[in-house]
Chain A
Amino acid sequence: MTAANSVILRLYEGMKFIRRVEEKVAEIYPSDMIKSPVHLSIGQEAASVAVCDNLEKSDLVSGTYRGHALYLAKGGSLKAMIAEMFGKDDGAARGKGGSMHLVSREDNVLGASAVVGTNISISTGAALSAKMRKSGQVTACFFGDGATEEGAFSESLNFAALMKLPILFVCENNFYAIHKPLSSRWATDRLCERVATYGIAAHLINDDDVLKMHEIAGAAIDRIRKGGGPEFIEYHAYRMREHVGPNEDFDQGYRPKSESTSWTDRDQLVRLAGMIDETDKRRIDDAIELKIAAAVDFAEQSPAPKIDELYRHVYAD
């Protein structure tokens, strides 16, 4: 892999930022300041960071309740995210969406959904809109392996291919839907083959290689932007923490700790850290810590929403 130094630096910074934010979230969580269930992306940061590094600000992304990584990778405000999780008035959704519904209109983060698979067709609609408006925007749609079992997945793929929509589908396959392994849910694991039958170019990255992801996603996004129609990437990754909550869950019996070792052994953040200069690393790390501390402080200071906020936004004006 011959990625430019600047790319490696950006990917390191993006992944490290998300990793540290989520570690901080896990650390704060027992204090009960976070008024929202948290689904951490620790171990799965690479896909969001690698894809978003190839997107323009005007491009759209759509993700799921495990959405911190995507929201931050696309440029969403950390202050607004932490305030949202604290249920405060300055939150991304004014405290009404929480961790599972992160949104940023300014950064073109279509709000995340907690109903698995729903965002696949929503983002297909955003891609249709971009095509109709001739805006040149690409939409990147993220979802997990469980979502591919929803009818909306197949329906959306078919429609996106039929209409040649400017959309990149990214399946972050972490092998579990809540606690159920792939083997008890899929008749075969040939997901890319299934997708390819719609006439959609499907790429498999099964070694958690963030640089490969960056390159493949970049080339796909270029083709999509030029009118080549939708593409699909299946990216294998591993969720290090429990499905929901701040802790590890290897003691619960549904997956062995040994299973995670091959992933931690090739942790892409550690890999990237080894590829950059120590001075750069220190500079980036220090800035991240300051940014996180400022965001937590901001969220603590942000006022609770006033009661009448309950009734706002039921309908748009």
Chain B
Amino acid sequence: MSMQIEQHMDQGNRVVTYVNAIREALAQEMSVDPSVFVFGLDVDDHKGIQGSTLGLVDEFGPERVFSTPLSEDAMTGVAIGAAMTGMRPVHVHIRMDFLMLAMNQLVNMAAKTHYMFGGAYKVPLVVRSMIGKSWGQGAQHSQGLQAMFAHVPGLKVVAPSNAYDVKGCLIEAIRDNNPVIFVEHRLLYFTDAYVPEESYTVPFGKARVHGEGGDVTLVGISNMVAECLRAREILTEAGIRCEVIDPISLKPLDFETIAASAKRTKRVIIVDNAWVDFGASAEIAARIAETDELGGVKVRRMGYAPTTCPTTPWLEKEFYPNPATIAERAFALVKPDAAPLQVMPELMELAYQAQFRGPF
């Protein structure tokens, strides 16, 4: 747990879930800024995007909280046009996979507008989307596509991994004058943390270091931060000290914090909630390779299997890194000559599966 979160704990702050932290951030920003509005398919229905927009329509009215036709392409253009002309839209997609329908507007318009018009128009837009996992989410409800967006100049990409950061990052994103791709993860929704009631921001481009340990650095992205923290528990028992770094935002990326840790530990494993090829893990690994003073640092990457995500749980559990596979990989990196770490099968069961059951 980071210093900042511990401090808030000391101040007697409330324990709030990730989903409620999102809703609170939206409500607080809508209260202080009349240009903020929330729209997207089903944001105003009885389920309210898994609860993250629930009640907003009652508080702020249907003019500022409204559902749309599916039309992801045009609705993204609508969001951009509104953002260019004085509004601050939060456009909500219940799955990140659906952003592929919005790719043209996001890449060709949102990312380019400020630059290709020489600064004439800004696009203060937040695009919320959620990565799904488990319970048969399968091929088209599970994709972590953050790298596609982080590739493009003009977009910011943020993937908060806990309730404290998700509130602060969402407020920061709404106030940002650029398009921000806001990556949430379904399995984080019912995790909780100490979250201040008042409004606050978590700056982009500043990584969070969870714990300290000199043997190995685990860089986790999105939900993989939680998996890395669980892996750390296993590793501690095995006598390996690791620190877990959460970049929070991928673009901008706080490489300095990762580099400082890598310099100490000489070993880095990047665990992405996405495929490895050409992804965020490749980017971080490349930056380490390009930094002379990090010569000799051993780098490993973990992420989705290089396949489409299957629905059957027997195959799906092999698709994702989990605390056991992360710990085993880290152990092998730190102690290459020792017998491989054997993680007991019960630890293979991911903690979230005991805590959360569908339906989605």
Q: Which residues of A contact B (CB under 8 A)?
A: 60, 62, 91-97, 101, 103-105, 110-111, 113, 115, 118, 120-130, 132-133, 151-152, 155-156, 158-159, 162, 312-317
Contacts and interface: CB of A to CB of B under 8 A. Distances in A.
Given A103-B121, A132-B63, A158-B71, A121 B81 contact: yes
B153 interface: yes
Interface in B101-141: 104-105, 108-109, 113-124
A260 B85 CA distance: 40
A126 B85 contact: yes
B74 A156 contact: yes
A97 B116 contact: yes
Contacts of A121: 73-78, 80-81, 105
Given A105-B121, A125-B84, A156-B77, 12 more contacts: A91-B118, A95-B118, A97-B118, A105-B120, A111-B121, A125-B81, A132-B64, A132-B82, A155-B74, A158-B69, A314-B153, A315-B178
22 contacts: A103-B118, A111-B113, A113-B109, A120-B77, A121-B76, A121-B77, A122-B81, A123-B81, A124-B74, A125-B81, A125-B83, A126-B82, A128-B78, A132-B63, A151-B73, A156-B77, A156-B78, A313-B118, A314-B114, A315-B177, A315-B178, A316-B123
Contacts of B122: 316
B37 interface: yes
A124 B114 contact: no
A133 B86 contact: yes
A168 to B, nearest CB: 15
Contact of A96 (B37, B76, B108, B118): B118
B69 A126 contact: no
Contacts of B77: 118, 120-122, 124-125, 152, 156
Give the 3 A-B residue pairs with the shortest CB-CB distance, closest first. A125-B81, A121-B77, A155-B74
Contact of A111 (B71, B120, B156, B178): B120
Contacts of A104: 120
Contacts, number: 150
Contacts of A60: 85
A113 B109 CA distance: 8
A103 B69 contact: no
A125 B115 contact: no
Contacts of A95: 118
Nearest to A128: B82
A155 B104 CA distance: 14
Nearest to A110: B84
Contacts of B87: 128-129, 132-133
B154 interface: yes
Contacts of B236: none
Contact of B108 (A115, A158, A162, A312): A115
B79 interface: yes
A51 B178 CA distance: 32
A159 B80 contact: no
A128 B177 CA distance: 19
A315 B63 CA distance: 29
A156 B76 CA distance: 10
A113 B115 CA distance: 13
A155 B121 contact: no
A122 B35 CA distance: 17
B177 A115 contact: no
A93 to B, nearest CB: 3
Nearest to B110: A122
A159 B73 CA distance: 12
B353 interface: no
A125 B109 contact: no
B68 to A, nearest CB: 7
Of B71, B82, B86, B109, the most chain A CB neighbours within 10 A belong to: B82
A159 B74 contact: yes
B119 to A, nearest CB: 5
B115 A314 contact: yes
B292 to A, nearest CB: 24
Of A123, A125, A152, the most chain B CB neighbours within 10 A belong to: A125
A101 B105 CA distance: 15
Contacts of A133: 35, 85-87
B80 A122 contact: yes
Contacts of B156: 315
Contacts of B123: 316
Nearest to B66: A163
B78 A93 contact: no
A314 B154 contact: yes
B118 A152 contact: no
B109 A312 contact: no
B114 A93 contact: no
Nearest to A102: B117
A207 to B, nearest CB: 32
A312 B156 CA distance: 16
Nearest to A106: B120
Contacts of A124: 74, 77-78, 81
